[in-house]
Amino acid sequence: MKVTKKITLVYIIVIFSTAFFQSCNSKEGDDQNPQNLNDKYFEGKDIRGRILLPEGMSSEDLEVMNVMSNTDASPYSEGEFGLDLDGTYTAFFARYSNSEVALMGYFYPGAADFNITPRSTALAMVMMTPAVVSLSDEGKKSFIA
């Protein structure tokens, strides 16, 4: 049991140190690139998505879910949700009517979709850790890539 804890600790340290050093490698003058300016100031994003349940969860669970972010909330109806997000790197949550979080999503510039899945839940959990939250937008972008 102790060996597993040590391996887990080493793994976490390696991940966070890699993200830290990658964020330090940002090139000066990147803010002058129009694409980077669009990514950096991309706020007020209206998104739509679906909740894709993992094995073991019943589709009946969807009937009592809603989706929320730090600035908006949406019922999950007709197989979709819609949110108006404020910010570039933002988590959003699928939760039951008793406010218990079931799954999570994470919005970032260049995201392929806005579905809430087990994979998006894992990404959101990692991106909300103190070590990653403190990264610059470029560092977060590198970390996700």
Compare 95 and 3 and report the one with higher pLDDT: 95
Count, residues in the chain? 145
Q: Confidence band (pLDDT; 50, 70, 90) for 28?
A: very low
Compare 10 and 70 and report the one with higher pLDDT: 70
| pTM for the predicted model, two decimal places | 0.66
**Which pLDDT belongs to residue 27?**
47
**Which pLDDT belongs to residue 60?**
75
Mean pLDDT for 57-72 is 80
pLDDT, tens only, 65-77: 889 888 888 888 8
What CA–CA distance (Å, rounded) separates 59 from 93? 17
